[in-house]
């Protein structure tokens, strides 16, 4: 019989277009939860398992059509959920994940123009039945959406590194992706928290901590209200 952890697990995802700056803030939130006595699992998508990391390499560097891309994304996600995310949540961990399904709806749906209805069917299929509840479709408890104008994100990427297959897309593609995130946030029922990623790094970090503290998951730092 599986024991129930004294403190329930939390699933928090970081989302935003390439160049939004989200990845640089995951470590700070990990440290904040660790300081509060929580065990943290830090992971990413696509990736997070040996199989999913192999699929990530294909997705980032190999040419393919939109349907192949979508199927690889959800195959990686299923393995990630079954092997990493659900076991961590069952232990009572805080799972911090760099991207999840919202990215699929933004990039493959809005960006590539892939059918949203098919994405929803695959979401239901891939994200159900990995955890303790057979009928639960796993979604994040909180999604931190790092919102930034696509032109600013593109300038950040240009100064960072050689682009992968997604990062090399034109600004118009990222404008569609940004619209996809905005639409997903509108439909989220309060799961999304918008982070203004145009601000200085310390101000962005303060927004992240404030959003998490507002849900009672971390103590609110003095002067952070």
Alpha-carbon distance 137 to 128, whole Å?
A: 4
pTM: 0.92
Residues β-bridged to residue 212: none
SS3 of 47-90: the string is: CCCHHHHHHHHHHHHCCCCHHHHHHHHHHHHHHHHHHHHHHHHH
Would residue 12 count as lying in a domain? no
Structural domains counted in the chain: 1
pLDDT tens digits, one per residue of 51-86: 999 999 999 999 999 999 999 999 999 999 999 999
Cβ-based neighbour number of residue 1 at 10 Å: 3
Q: Is 86 helix (H, G, I), strand (E, B) or coil?
A: helix
Would residue 221 count as lying in a domain? no
Would residue 29 count as lying in a domain? yes
Q: What is the mean pLDDT of the chain?
A: 92
* Residue 4 annotated as lining a ligand binding site: no
Cβ-based neighbour number of residue 45 at 10 Å: 21
Would residue 95 count as lying in a domain? yes
Q: Are the C-beta atoms of 127 and 138 separated by less than 8 Å?
A: yes
Cβ-based neighbour number of residue 214 at 10 Å: 14
Would residue 148 count as lying in a domain? yes
**CATH assignment at residue 81:** 3.40.50.300
154 sits in which H/E element: helix 150-158
* Residue 43 annotated as lining a ligand binding site: no
pLDDT tier at 19, thresholds 50, 70, 90: confident
154 to 40, 162, 169, 180: CA distances (angstroms): 31, 12, 10, 17
* Residue 54 annotated as lining a ligand binding site: no
pLDDT tier at 5, thresholds 50, 70, 90: low
* Residue 19 annotated as lining a ligand binding site: yes
* Residue 18 annotated as lining a ligand binding site: yes
Would residue 171 count as lying in a domain? yes
Would residue 91 count as lying in a domain? yes
* Residue 196 annotated as lining a ligand binding site: no
Would residue 8 count as lying in a domain? no
> What range defines the domain where residue 147 resides?
20-214
Least confident of 10-14, 41-45, 220-224: 220-224
pLDDT at 180 over 50: yes
């Amino acid at each position: 019989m599986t024991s129930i952890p004294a403190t329930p697990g939390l699933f928090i995802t970081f989302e935003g277009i390439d160049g939004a700056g989200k990845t640089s803030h995951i470590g700070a939130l990990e440290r904040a939860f660790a300081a509060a006595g929580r065990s943290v699992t830090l992971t990413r998508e696509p990736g997070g398992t040996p199989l999913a990391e192999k699929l990530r390499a294909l997705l980032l560097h190999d040419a393919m059509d939109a349907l192949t891309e979508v199927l690889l994304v959800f195959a990686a996600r299923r393995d990630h959920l079954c092997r990493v995310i659900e076991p961590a949540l069952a232990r009572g961990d805080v799972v911090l994940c760099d991207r999840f399904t919202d990215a699929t709806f933004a990039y493959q749906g809005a960006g590539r123009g892939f059918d949203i209805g098919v994405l929803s069917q695959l979401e239901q299929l891939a994200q159900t039945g990995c955890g303790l509840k057979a009928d639960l479709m796993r979604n994040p408890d909180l999604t931190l959406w790092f919102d930034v104008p696509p032109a600013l994100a593109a300038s950040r990427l240009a100064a960072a590194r050689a682009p992968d297959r997604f990062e090399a897309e034109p600004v118009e593609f990222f404008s569609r992706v940004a619209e996809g995130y905005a639409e997903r946030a509108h439909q989220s029922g309060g799961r999304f928290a918008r982070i203004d990623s145009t601000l200085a790094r310390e101000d962005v970090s303060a927004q992240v901590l404030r959003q998490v503290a507002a849900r009672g998951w971390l103590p609110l730092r003095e002067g952070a209200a």
